[in-house]
Structure 1
């Protein structure tokens, strides 16, 4: 059991986070002014340097915890748990978009068009949210469905181009990101997304009938979008693990040539996969409009979520529940990073460096295994086979 754990892929993700936090601690210590000052007289009073390093690192990570999980300085439990709700709110679009990227990975496609798919979903669903009059409940559902369909169509366009012309999805998604950005920017200035009587490139506020309801009341920012993130995770897990379509997706991702010989339409799977991937990422876009930026949105709506989703999908090993927990981790980094900066003066860039290091270590499993002296995958099986062979030969 121990060998199975230490040779699995999940342990690499966990240790990658640990290594990134260790390197982040070193950077926090180097950038701290008290550490720099005490280093000048290290040989006369070495204890001061060690104490300064401890205070800098422990203070920064304590602020990260209190800004993302629970703040012990608050007078009540209801107030202390507020950072966790902020973490879950930040994590919600990351989970949704990460699921879309992960689904593409499982089919062998690299969807880095999250920005464009989020913008198109926000533009179409957002227009329904502020321009259409419908009863409460129905209005929200229609805006949500239109946003998801917008992301699905924008992603499906990539699948059609790959299936029909062989165009690589990395190139087409990058180009469609620019197309979506400048198209939405134009619509915010001159088109149907423009706020009447305003020169500010920002859409009108979403109507109350289309806004996600709060989950814990008006004192918390956590909204219904987090429930949708859980449902999206369950749906993606069922799709990939329990459905016939998911089996075909995985077969194409493992070996498209073998899948084609087995009678699977590889081109059709590319289109379906990109539509579903775009729909999940579009869900992240409409989540921002109906749940987070209800006062109106601009062309910078995605806030880097489309690219952060790639990191979340990698950390989650392209598995739905792995993506879910990875999204919560990165949501905690986002929520706690501001607390680190405000309470301890730690640059917010440190959090970005930690996130980047996580990706670096995940992309280099042999490095992680070498640092922690973990056995190589299959090493135990080879040893067992050799022993069995020797015993048979001896008999």
Structure 2
């Protein structure tokens, strides 16, 4: 019989393969060449230094939002609010980056901390309501996404600027962007945020797997009632999980504000970075390493898709269908489990 560890590795791999196969069938059904389509996708993600830089740039916030959702999942919570936490983290980072003058060694960490703090506070509210009043976190986090969207637009237009739709650019001492990285990748928007994201992944792994606090968080996620019976403070752990989850998402916003764009515009709609993080966490099995790998896959698909219309005549929207199919197969993991167990039984 397959072990749980082997199953957790096989399901995402099989899901991706099935998703790609199903995507190829759909391309054939609409008269497109799937071989050329996927070659164009790979070329669009890694074909030259610029595309490679853009792919890594896209991966960076996906790692952090994936970690945000995965961390909450590990504590038995469903954080739909990563999108709102990204937005408030983005605003906090840019606010610090445009209003304070300090050396980079102080300014940049302060801006990152402000982003994590803003995201954490945005996660604190649903965590508190869940712990104290039993209000479902999904409802609260969805509502707080809209509050974040419209509140930040108001602050940009009426506090940070005089009726403008974008903030000023962050000063160089708070920027994650690097002239050296841009030159190395043919002036892509690659920045040092990828290092922040990888450090965050290591932090999540260490906290959950190697500390007493992480054990309690995982225990609450497995069985809240048994954890309470064992003397653990369930309410405190729920709040802590949502705060840390929000902090990861807030840092994802800082990657956009301090790195990719260097400023914050008003948004007429959601960025979808937080929502994509749900799919990243799901595919990554809610594990730190799995989330990083899944983020690389999603970043590759998102950036590579931009080359499919010109490289193979395939609409970029088909990549969204492939991503949806991959998520579908991951969500239907019990079918894959049944098939693997059936093959194991027949092989005996």
- Does residue 193 in structure 1 map to residue 160 in structure 2? yes
Q: Is the 8 A contact 1:124 1:147 kept in 2?
A: yes
Q: 1:274: how far off? A: 0.4
* Structure 1 residue 147: Cα displacement: 0.9
Distance 1:217 1:67, change over 3 A: same
Report SS of the residue matched to 2:38.
helix
Tell me: higher relative CO, structure 1 or 2? Use CA pairs within 8 A at least 6 residues apart: 2
Corresponding residue for residue 23 of structure 1:
22
* Distance apart, 1:306 and its partner CA: 0.7
Aligned-residue CA RMSD (Å): 2.2
Q: Structure 1 residues 113-122 or 282-291, which shifts more?
A: 113-122
TM-score, reference length from structure 2: 0.93
Matched residue, 1:216: 181
5 Å-filtered alignment, 1:18-97, equals 18-32=17-31, 56-69=33-46, 71=47, 80-97=48-65
Number of residues paired by the alignment?
343
**Counterpart Cα distance in 2 of 1:7 and 1:143:** 40
Please give the alpha-carbon distance, in whole angstroms, between the structure 1 residues aligned to 2:263 and 2:316: 26
Q: Among 182, 192, 197, which residue is 1:229 paired with?
A: 197
TM-score by length of 1: 0.82
Aligned in 2, Cα 1:301/1:142: closer, same or farther, shift over 3 Å? farther
Q: Which residue of 2 aligns with 1:9?
A: 8
- Alignment equivalent of 2:325, drawn from 348, 351, 357: 357
Q: Is the 8 A contact 2:51 2:188 kept in 1?
A: no
Q: Name which of structure 1's ranges 82-91 and 18-27 shifts more when overlaid on structure 2.
A: 82-91
* Structure 2 residue runs without a partner (length 5+): none
Distance across 2 between alignment mates of 1:376 and 1:155: 42
2:170 pairs with 199, 206, 209, which one?
Answer: 206
Identify the range of structure 1 (267-276 vs 210-219) with the bigger mean alpha-carbon deviation: 210-219
Q: Provide the rounded CA distance (Å) in 1 between the counterparts of 2:110 and 2:131.
A: 30
Q: Does the aligned pair in 2 maintain the 1:119–1:299 contact within 8 Å?
A: no
- Contact 2:216-2:237 at 8 Å conserved across structures: yes
**Runs of 4 or more above 6 Å deviation:** none
| Greater mean deviation of Cα atoms: 334-343 or 250-259 | 334-343
1:358-384 per-position Cα deviation (integer Å, ceiling 9, x unaligned): 1111111233356xx42169x77xx99
Q: Distance in 2 between matches of 1:148 and 1:252?
A: 23
**Alignment partners' CA distance in 2, 1:6 and 1:149:** 34
Structure ID, larger Rg: 1
Q: CA deviation at 1:203?
A: 1.5
**Matching residue within 341, 344, 348 for 1:375:** 341
Q: Which residue of 2 is the match for residue 321 of structure 1?
A: 289
Q: Structure 1: which 5+ runs fail to align?
A: 36-55, 72-79, 385-395
- Once the two structures are superposed, residues 48-91 of structure 1 have per-residue CA deviations (whole angstroms, 9 ceiling, x without a partner) of xxxxxxxx11111001111112x2xxxxxxxx343222211101
Aligned to 1:133: 101
Cα separation, partners in 2 of 1:269 and 1:4, compared to 1, 3 Å: closer
Partner residue of 1:254 out of 222, 232, 246: 222
Contact 2:123 2:243 in 1 (8 A): yes
**Cα 1:288/1:161, change in 2 over 3 Å:** same
- SS in structure 2 of the partner of residue 109 of structure 1: coil
CA distance in 1, matches of 2:151, 2:42: 40
Taking the aligned partners of 1:307 and 1:281, their CA distance within structure 2 comes to 11
